Structure 1
Amino acid sequence: MEQPYLFILNPHSGTFLGRNSRLIEKAVHEMAQTYNSRATVLFTQERAHATTLVSEHMHREPWKAIVAVGGDGTINEIAQPLVGQAIPLGILPLGSGNGLARHLGIPLKLNAALKRLFTGQVTTIDTALINHIPFFCTAGMGFDAYVGYRFSKQPARGLSTYMKVSFESYWSYRPQSYRLNGVEINAFSLSFANAGQFGNNAWVAPQADLQDGELDICRIKPFPKWYGTSLAYQLFTRQMRTSRYIDYEKATHAVVETTQPPLIHYDGEPLQLSTSRIEVSIKPKSLRVII
């Protein structure tokens, strides 16, 4: 029999998992048997519980992979203890945005994702830190963090809720002032991209490479309200590029200073910081992932 797999399932992720968690668990066990393996499935109970489960179980058996069943927030919690470890991360992308899985080309349908998990290859990708908090897809501040915060307060998940919150926020949000690597800037949003998209195929940094040892910093400058339609079109058609209102630069390390502690997001999870100094850095080739 092949090495076993540990699956950690977040029943609160996305719109599909909560209603179908037991069916997903059944499919996992059946697919494991098909490939002459076995699976252990654990369920999270609250935020950050997945990190605890990984830490408690990662050395109990010779796992072939520890699998995140959920979205980017779930992946973040599960991947944190796996950075620098030999055990690969597996992904069943059943969350709301699934940005990292989309960038990696992992199928979004359950059965196809399971087949890829059991037959895929292991690759090694970069990871990143924002004030010592690991992130794997994107992090940032400004409009995206504001939307992420408002989205986290909604009773329903999914793309339609995210779009509704984004549209409502767009009309009231005001650009912020930052000091980026010693230079005063104003920005509608300031994003640090390890992978290329936020999720839902919203490509903030289409050129981002998970294996180049660098982050892509995207600054969207203040712009007139009419430009919002063009910006959204570029974002969802993978056409974001340097222009009058958009700047890109690559970096391995960046420092952002603000006049007051900002609201940030990391892999879509909002967080109100207690400090006005933010350091972002890359950890090249530090996480093994099945793709």
Structure 2
Amino acid sequence: MDKLPYLFILNPNSGTSIGKKAEIIGQVIQNFAEKSGNQATVLFTKERGHATAIVRENLAKTNWKAIVAVGGDGTVNEIARALIGTDTPVGILPLGSGNGLARHLGLPLTLEGSLKRIFEGKIITIDSAQLNDIPFFCIAGIGFDAYVGYLFSQQSRRGLATYVQVSVQSYWNYKPQSLRLNGVDTQAFSLSFANAGQFGNNAWVAPQASLQDGLLDVCVIKPFPKWYGTSLAYRLFTKGLKNSRYIEYRNMTELSVEMDAPPVIHYDGEPMQLETNFIKIKINPESLRVIV
């Protein structure tokens, strides 16, 4: 009996160098699949949102073993949102600039290692989450992280170095925001809704978060003195935020946020300007199958 085929969806705009190597990476995937006795179809995205359309166009055409996101967290999001509640698992070839979900899952970060895991790994079921009508799988949020994400998206160069540069430049002029969290007035430097533990690049905003506990870890970074920023950044990359007096965590299945004006948000690394000042976030337990 023939093995079921895999569908790989490659985003040429992910990460720092995929665009120049997209065709080569596609060929490597084909060759690796053939050598391991598997079938692979590789399709390329052309614009933002295209990966979701590709999944929906192809999901019913073939009984796929898995549909694999080749790119970063944004590409994973586009593909996984079309697989919520289905039996078809998502696979991840983490070739983005942050790879937060892949890092949380402990997936290999090399092309060969991650391909081997796609064909030999096991399937688990994880939670997904939703901000208004926007699905997310890693982290969503508002505040400083969303502001930096918006500025980062406008840069011609990707990667950690650019992200750090934008963050530092933005930090000194940024002011905490006023909001109502579940009806309670709150001042927040940032507010994160964590399904997984990190933004990417091992920046752990909620290292205790689990993808399988049916809960969101809500992280409130309260206003702090400007001089504390270096310590906060160090704690972020050493899983030490929980020990800071300026950090508050809550476990929730759903929550609401209201602001005076529509905010910029981010979801799985993608910034977005909302058109409403009211946000509702909820967890969707055991809703996505993933190869790990």
Q: Which bin holds the TM-score, normalised by the shorter protein?
A: over 0.9
Which stretch shows the higher mean deviation, 237-246 or 100-109?
237-246
Name the structure 2 match of 1:283: 284
Name the structure 2 match of 1:69: 70
Contact 1:242 1:248 in 2 (8 A): no
Query: Deviations along 1:75-126, whole A, 9 cap, x unmatched?
Result: 0001011000000000000001000000000111000000011000000000
Q: Partner of 2:232: helix, strand, or coil?
A: helix
Please give the alpha-carbon distance, in whole angstroms, between the structure 2 residues aligned to 1:278 and 1:258.
9
Name the structure 2 match of 1:115: 116
Please give the alpha-carbon distance, in whole angstroms, between the structure 2 residues aligned to 1:28 and 1:38.
10
For structure 2, list consecutive stretches of 5 or more residues without a partner in the other structure. none
Please give the alpha-carbon distance, in whole angstroms, between the structure 2 residues aligned to 1:258 and 1:166.
23
Q: Partner of 1:270: helix, strand, or coil?
A: strand
Q: TM-score, normalised by structure 1?
A: 0.99
Question: Cα distance, 1:26 vs. partner?
Answer: 1.1
Question: Cα distance, 1:243 vs. partner?
Answer: 3.1
Query: Match of 1:126, as an amino acid?
Result: D
Please give the alpha-carbon distance, in whole angstroms, between the structure 1 residues aligned to 2:38 and 2:3.
5
Report the RMSD for the aligned CA atoms in angstroms: 0.7
Q: Partner of 1:81: helix, strand, or coil?
A: coil
Name the structure 2 match of 1:40: 41
Please give the alpha-carbon distance, in whole angstroms, between the structure 2 residues aligned to 1:19 and 1:233.
34
Distance 1:230 1:200, change over 3 A: same
Query: Match of 2:149, as an amino acid?
Result: G
Name the structure 2 match of 1:88: 89
Please give the alpha-carbon distance, in whole angstroms, between the structure 1 residues aligned to 2:137 and 2:251.
16
Name the structure 1 match of 2:172: 171
Q: Partner of 1:233: helix, strand, or coil?
A: helix
Q: TM-score, normalised by structure 2?
A: 0.99
Whether 2:242 is the aligned partner of 1:261: answer no
Superposed, 1:95-110 pairs within 5 Å as 95-110=96-111
Which stretch shows the higher mean deviation, 34-43 or 131-140?
34-43
Structure 1 runs (4+) deviating above 2 angstroms are none
Contact 1:3 1:62 in 2 (8 A): yes
Question: Cα distance, 1:242 vs. partner?
Answer: 4.8
Q: Partner of 2:226: helix, strand, or coil?
A: coil
Query: Deviations along 1:20-73, whole A, 9 cap, x unmatched?
Result: 111111111111112211111110000000000000001111100000000000
Query: Match of 2:41, as an amino acid?
Result: T
Name the structure 2 match of 1:7: 8
Question: Cα distance, 1:16 vs. partner?
Answer: 2.3
**Aligned pair count?**
291
